Structure 1
Amino acid sequence: MKTHGRPPITPPPWRTILRKFLYIVAFLIVLAIAVLFVLRIYAEELTEMALVPDVEFVEQDPLEANAYQDPAMWFSRPGKGVNDPARWQPAFSEELSTQPPPSGPADSGDTPDFAVFFVHPTSFLENDAWNAPLDHEESQTRARLMVRGMASAFNRASEIWAPRYRQATYGTFLTDSPEAGRALDAAYADIEQAFDFFIDSVPEGTPIVLAGHSQGGYHVVRLLTEKLKGTPLMERLAVAYPIGMPISLETDLPALGLPACASGQQAGCVASWASFAEPADPGQYLRLYNETPGIDGESRTDTPILCVNPLTGSLDGSADAERNLGTLVPEGDLSNGELVAGAVPARCDPESGILLIGDPPELGQYVLPGNNYHVYDIPLFWRNLQADVVNRVRAWQPAQPS
């Protein structure tokens, strides 16, 4: 092309820069879409890669026979005083609550004596070991916060015992490898030893409550089947709360030796739930449930899951948010929080067995994929659980010989 003596026209430098910038932005958008697509399709696989240990299992040496005589082996136990995280009592938030702070049985002075054995959930997230060392500072700090936010719901008890133990790492629950089973066995050995000391320490005749969340719920189930079923201890059990652990009504519950809690005034029963906001995607939760055999060794695939509604204390059913006496809304670092009344409803889904809590509440950064509120199973219904355990201990007492 001839220019007839005129110099060629070149675009201003800023136009070239802008065009290159837009190319980069477009590339990053496409890259982000691709990453999100991969994460969406392979989220479970990537999670397993990040959290499941790829190291050999190391057999845990047994604790000393008198290990749990040491108060330092307990997050909570009688005698801890103001340093006991399970004795924390959060205040009500008058600004956020949709109804006045409630009063009721859990606030009265005639609460009967009872002792709680609480097993904290998984706080060890590393993939370089199958079991947490007791001197792993980060996991121990996190576990103490969990005891503060969860075991505190049982603070009307005369005694609360929450042991430290060499818990299995989080990735244990994402694989069916033999190492995962051995890690859970090692953790349970500590729990069993702590439970024996608990029973020896609690006054004879005092009703007991077993409670735990997630991995803690797993160990509660094993205590029921291996330490209580068929023994006089079962007669002292007012209620068991293996919260966050899916329990099959067909392959698990009959093996526990206890019925499901059908009403809020029933004692000697089992209560559990798994919380999801809507729209819920419990795919991974149900996959792990279906792939794991029941306690009786039979397949749990598509068998109904136990769901006790924490707002009513009864099997299945639904309840509006007005029935929620107080949700524990934590601060960002989980070190503190306030109770908010009337914040969250609850409805047992008859198809999946999960507990639906309506629109996603703002509780913090630890919501799992699929609107899974597993971390908040107890805080969501903190005040109702506080009242529920007292009601069940009261129901236990009249059934006992004087």
Structure 2
Amino acid sequence: MAKKFLYLVATIIVLILAGALALTLFSAEITRFVMVPDSEFTPQEPLERNAYEDPSLWYSRPGIGTSDPARWQPAYAPETAVPSGVSEDAKARVVSTTDQPDFAVFFVHPTSYRSTANWNAPLGETDDPDAAEADKFARIFLRGMASPFNAASEIWAPRYRQATMGAFLTNGPEGGQALDAAYADVREAFRYFLDSVGEETPIVLAGHSQGALHLMRLLAEEVQGSPAAGRLVAAYVIGWPISLEHDLPAMGVPACATANQTGCVLSWSSFAAPADPSAVLETYAASTGLDGEVRGTSEILCTNPITGRIGGSAPANRNLGTLKPDESLADGELVPGAVPATCEDRGLLMIGPPPEMGALVLPGNNYHVYDIPLFWANTKVDAARRVQAFAGESAGGDTAN
């Protein structure tokens, strides 16, 4: 049977994020009862420093070949074309995976483990059917979300003992402990990644949802003030709100203010009109930032993924391609001009009237499920453009807009 990967991506992320973002599908009591483990948190044994030398601890890395999910390249829908007015260079970068300066990507996948038996997913060989399901969906996520970075010379996406979905639904200490344990694995994988790609290779960090949360900590604790900071092309921290006041300064890197800027962060959360983000904003307001302070009503970073700049608006004809399912849901294809993008004053990304991306949209017209697929082609071009800018900076060239 053909893999209905986009349908599955949408389905599993809906299950994950319905509670993790705002408890929008059920009452808090019911959600916690159903999804939060009722066992005590069991501390995870730290991985050995050389654990990630094992190729089996990576979903994507050099040497995997055609089975690497991040290397997938969708095609444009038949009888469609990239909108007029877009440069030939941009068009070429959408479909090309070559002719690009070398750069390496570290991608952290979102939550795919939903079990209530454990606070963290097991790592390695196991007979646990929940773990097998999580492994399957992690690969699906990478196929749909990491593939915009497939022009990279190297893509690394680690397995890690991710926190289960229920960790986001509790106020108890176990949720934070599970996230800390997951982060410890991601940190070890990142350190191995840096050692493996060499000291001169430019790097791009990317992730979604739980993966984006871990990237925020990596930037604050591992990249800031380190040699890696000088190699950072950009960090795509998608689907997790970043407070300009309580997160960004602690991360030690600025937001990407221009399309050619490097060493910066991009982030967005997608809603269609009419949007009701109240539950998401309430959850955000009650959360704690990287500086240890409550985020409250602090401004959320909104990058416009069409323009690559902070804020602003861009029409649909500048969207180079949205990754959408076909009628059979067996595969995906790129459709240009599908949605516009406008950063509104609450820090959310508005995409106009609800697009036909399927029925699996969160309440309030929350298109978090499709944060990356909505702007698949523009994200690919954005990464390529910033890598070119970084190469020009390294060579002493002028890359200013």
TM above 0.5: yes
Q: Partner amino acid for 1:359? A: P
Residue 123 (str. 1) matches residue 112 (str. 2) = yes
Matched, 1:251 2:240: no
Q: State the Cα distance separating 1:335 from its structure 2 match.
A: 6.0
Residue in 2 aligned with 1:364? 358
Partner of 2:381: 387
CA shift in 2, pair 1:293/1:72, >3 Å: same
Instruction: Determine the C-alpha separation between the residues in 1 that align with 2:288 and 2:196.
Output: 35
Deviation at 1:129, TM superposition (A): 1.8
**Superposition map of 1:222-371 within 5 A:** 222-330=217-325, 336-350=331-345, 352-371=346-365
2:366 corresponds to which letter in structure 1? N
Who is 2:174 aligned against?
A: 179
Please give the TM-score of this superposition, normalised by the length of structure 1: 0.85
* 8 Å contact kept, 2:24–2:279: no
Distance 1:333 1:184 in 2: 37
User: Is the Cα contact below 8 Å between 1:97 and 1:342 reproduced in 2?
Assistant: no
- Write the letter of the residue equivalent to 2:226: T
Q: Quote the Cα distance in structure 1 between the aligned partners of 2:351 and 2:160.
A: 32
In structure 2, do the counterparts of structure 1 residues 273 and 333 end up closer, same or farther at CA, with 3 Å as the change threshold?
A: farther
Secondary structure of 2:146's counterpart equals helix
Structure 1 gap ranges (5+): 1-38
The answer to whether 1:167 aligns with 2:167 is no
Change (3 A) 1:150 1:388: same
What count of residue pairs does the alignment treat as equivalent?
Answer: 363
Return the offset for 1:348: 0.8
2:138 alignment counterpart: 143
Using the alignment, how far apart are the partners of 1:348 and 1:334 within structure 2? Answer: 30
Distance 1:300 1:278 in 2: 25
| Contact in 1 for aligned 2:258/2:310 (Cα 8 Å) | yes
> 2:49 pairs with 65, 72, 90, which one?
65
- Report the secondary structure of 1:104's partner residue: helix
Rg larger in structure = 1
1:177 to 1:271, Cα distance in 2 relative to 1, 3 A: same
> 2:189 corresponds to which residue?
194
Indicate the SS of the match to 2:102. coil
Q: What per-residue deviation string (whole Å, max 9, x for no partner) do you get for residues 318-338 of structure 1?
A: 111111100011358976211
CA deviation map 1:321-367 (0-9, x unaligned)? 111100011358976211111101111111x2111111222223432
Is contact 1:98-1:343 (8 Å) kept? no
**CA deviations over 1:288-317 (Å, ceiling 9, x no partner):** 211112111222111100000001100011
Name the CA distance, whole Å, in 1 between partners of 2:329 and 2:192: 30
CA-to-aligned-CA distance 1:22-47 (integer Å, 9 cap, x gap): xxxxxxxxxxxxxxxxx989545433
> Which of 1 and 2 has higher RCO (CA within 8 Å, sep 6+)?
2
Report deviation, 1:243.
0.6
RMSD: 2.2
Instruction: Indicate the percent of aligned positions where both proteins have the same amino acid.
Output: 58
Distance 1:41 1:161, change over 3 A: closer
Paired position in structure 1 for 2:367: 373
